[in-house]
Structure 1
Amino acid sequence: MRSGPGIGTDTAIVLLVAGLIFLVALVLGVWKYRQMIRSEEHLAHPYVDIAHRAALLYSFATLLIAVFVELSGWPPVVDLVAAGVVVAFFVAAIGTYVYHGWRRDTDNQLRRPVRGTTVFMVGLIVGEIGGFAVLLIGFVQAQLW
């Protein structure tokens, strides 16, 4: 265990998740590469490509969220729940992309959406925007007012 002042536990958890998402992105990059070298067109399935890119982007977005968690004035549990909602939707999206890449069942999951897609998308919109808004407001209150 380290001693002295450091980042909050809530921030450490979000940073750990960012690192795990980045690790997944690197593994997905290997999968993408393997598909590219085996394909006559030298392309991976669109959803393998999307999963890889999304995981890379979401890992860095999660780092940004960790900064707002650390600098927010809300209690740690509020920050962790708000960040958790956003990151849960990031992970769910990556998982969906991996699923479609593994199954090779579509190149556009919204062309013939499955039951619950609209509900999930509305939840994603509300959860990601709402969760980040909570963190942004906590930051503004703690750092600017």
Structure 2
Amino acid sequence: MSLAEKLCLTAAFVFFMTGLLTGIWKYRCMARSENAVAPRYVDIAHRSSLMYSFAALLLGWFAGYSAYPDWLNSVAAASALGFFALAIGTYIVHGVLRDTGNQFRKPHRLGRSTLPAWVIHAFMIVLIVAEVGGSLVLGSGALIAIW
């Protein structure tokens, strides 16, 4: 098994367990709420963790078939998976702090602090490049190999 595949399988397990554990958190919030609803970012953390766990498995399959060298597949996997993890972490932080219902609403809140808009936009651009670029490398490598 290549390093890229190991990274993807490990991330899939970590993300899946995070999804299960945030599901418990979500249930506890719902059980204590008058309207049986969890805070927005608790819900988002739960759902995104589960979705990213399966995305990590898919990237692992792509890596397993990829025609590209393992070093490139590993960098691509680490890039995409790292930003999946950062996204989940951000949702968990907002869920714990209960500081916003929309992380893109201005002013950009992080607890009692505010973040400059350029930080949010720069992070999102790097996230897009890493997630889309890493997935593109792994997916195109797999397609090249099978065709």
TM-score normalised per structure 1: 0.91
Query: 1:100 matched to which residue of 2?
Result: 94
2: distance between equivalents of 1:52 and 1:71?
A: 30
1:66 equivalent in alignment to 2:69: no
Equivalent residue number for residue 88 of structure 1 = 82
Q: Which residue of 2 aligns with 1:76?
A: 70
Residue identity opposite 1:81 in structure 2: V
RMSD: 1.1
Q: Deviations over 1:24-63 (max 9, x none)?
A: 1100000001111011111111000000000000000111
User: Which residue in the other structure is 1:137 paired with?
Assistant: 140
Runs of 4+ in structure 1 over 6 Å off? none
Separation in 2, partners of 1:110, 1:12: 34
The answer to whether the 8 A contact 2:80-2:131 is kept is yes
Report the alpha carbon displacement of residue 127 of structure 1 after superposing the two structures with TM.
1.1
Task: Identify the match of residue 39 of structure 2 among 33, 45, 50.
Answer: 45
- SS of aligned partner of 1:70: helix
Partner of 1:3: none
SS at match of 1:96: helix
1:139 Cα deviation after fit = 1.3
- Listed as ranges, the matches of 1:114-129 within 5 Å are 114-115=115-116, 116-129=119-132
Alpha-carbon distance in 2 for matches of 1:53, 1:141:
32
> Which deviates the most, 87-96 or 131-140?
131-140
CA distance in 2, matches of 1:12, 1:135: 14
Task: Extract unaligned runs of 5+ from structure 1.
Answer: 1-6
Q: Which residue of 2 aligns with 1:55?
A: 49
The aligned amino acid for 1:129 is: V
Counterparts of 1:89 and 1:26 in 2: how far apart (Å)?
20
User: 2:78, 2:27 → 1: CA distance?
Assistant: 31
Equivalent position amino acid for 2:146 in 1: Q
Identity %: 44
User: Counterparts of 2:131 and 2:3 in 1: how far apart (Å)?
Assistant: 22
Query: What TM-score comes out, normalization by structure 2 length?
Result: 0.90
Q: How many residue pairs end up in the alignment?
A: 138
Query: What is the CA–CA distance in structure 1 between the aligned matches of 2:102 and 2:122, rounded to whole Å?
Result: 18
Once the two structures are TM-superposed, the CA of residue 71 in structure 1 deviates from its matched residue by 0.4
1:8 CA drift (Å)? 2.9
In structure 1, the partner of 2:111 is none
- CA offset at residue 141 of structure 1? 2.0
CA distance in 2, matches of 1:12, 1:83: 10
